[in-house]
Chain A
Amino acid sequence: GAVVSQHPSRVICKSGTSVKIECRSLDFQATTMFWYRQFPKQSLMLMATSNEGSKATYEQGVEKDKFLINHASLTLSTLTVTSAHPEDSSFYICSASPTSSYNEQFFGPGTRLTVL
C-alpha cells in the first residue's frame, strides 16, 4: 500500500513551453501533497506544500507564477512549469501525506525534466 505515482517519468521540452507533471496517490487519500526539486548530487529541496482544495504554500524563493500547483482532489496534484528555461531542468519529486497519518510522506518515483 501507500503508492505514489508520477507522470511522466521523463520529459524533454523546448525553452518557453509549459510542462505539467502529475502526482497521484494510488491507494490512499492525501490531504497534503508536497513538491520537491533535486539538483544532481544534492538533497531534496521543498518547493511547495499543497492542500486539497486550497492554494499551495510556496517556500521562499520559489516563484509561484512559474511553478503552478493544483491539488484538485485527494488523490491528484499537478505541478506545471510555465515558460520553462534550461535552468528549470531538474529532478522533480512529489510526495503525499495520508489523511490518516500526517507525519508520514510517501514519495513518487520522480520526474526528470530537461529543457532544451
Chain B
Amino acid sequence: AQSVTQPDIHITVSEGASLELRCNYSYGATPYLFWYVQSPGQGLQLLLKYFSGDTLVQGIKGFEAEFKRSQSSFNLRKPSVHWSDAAEYFCAVVGEYGQNFVFGPGTRLSVLP
C-alpha cells in the first residue's frame, strides 16, 4: 500500500524568502503525485500534479515541484513566499489505476512579515 510522509509538521519563513516543503512517498509502481493547499476552514485547492513526463512541474501561485524517483520524493518549492501563502499543505499519492488517494500528514506554513 502506498504511503506519504511530510517530515516537517510546521515551517516558518519570512516573506520574500524561498520555500521548500518535503514530501516522500512509498509506492511500488508508477505514482501519481499531488500537492494541495488548505486555508483554515476551507477545502483543498490543487497546486500541481505529476503524472508523467517532465519531472519538474509548474503549478499555480508560483509553486513548482520536482519528482525524483531515485529519492521517492516530490518536494514543493517557491522562490519567494507571500504572506498569503500561509496555510496547510498536503502531499498526496494515488496509484496509476486510480486507487485511493493517500494524504501526507500535512505541513503548516507560517509566514513572518
Q: Is the CB of A44 within 8 A of B100?
A: no
A64 at the interface (CB under 8 A from B): no
* Closest B residue by C-beta to A44: B103
Contacts of A34 in B (CB 8 A): 100-101
Q: How far is the CA of A109 from the CA of B44 in the complex (A)?
A: 7
Main secondary structure of the interface of A (DSSP, over half): strand
- Taking A103-B94, A104-B49 as known contacts, 6 extra A-B pairs with beta carbons closer than 8 A to each other, sorted by chain A number, are A91-B41, A93-B44, A102-B97, A102-B98, A107-B44, A112-B41
Interface residues of A (CB under 8 A from B): 6, 32, 34, 41-44, 46, 49, 91, 93, 95, 97, 102-110, 112
Contact between chains at A105 and B105 (CB < 8 Å): no
Smallest CB–CB gap between A6 and chain B, Å?
A: 8
CA distance A107 to B42 in the complex (A): 10
Across the A-B interface, the 4 shortest Cβ-Cβ residue pairs: A102-B98, A109-B43, A107-B44, A110-B43
- Beta-carbon contact of A97 and B42 below 8 Å: no
Cα separation A103 to B44 with both chains bound (whole Å): 16
Chain A residues lying within 8 Å of B32, measured Cβ to Cβ, are: 103
B27 within 8 A of A: no
A interface footprint on B7-21 (CB within 8 Å = 1, 0 otherwise): 000000000000000
Q: Are B51 and A108 in contact (CB under 8 A)?
A: no
Task: Report if B67 contacts A (CB, 8 A).
Answer: no
Give chain B interface residues in 53-89, CB to chain A under 8 Å.
none
Q: Which residues of A contact B98 (CB under 8 A)?
A: 32, 97, 102-103
Q: Which of B42, B46, B106, B108 contacts A109 (CB 8 A)?
A: B42
B90 part of interface (Cβ distance < 8 Å)? yes
Q: Verify B90–A43 contact, CB threshold 8 A.
A: yes
In the docked arrangement, what's the CA distance between A106 and B101, Å? 11
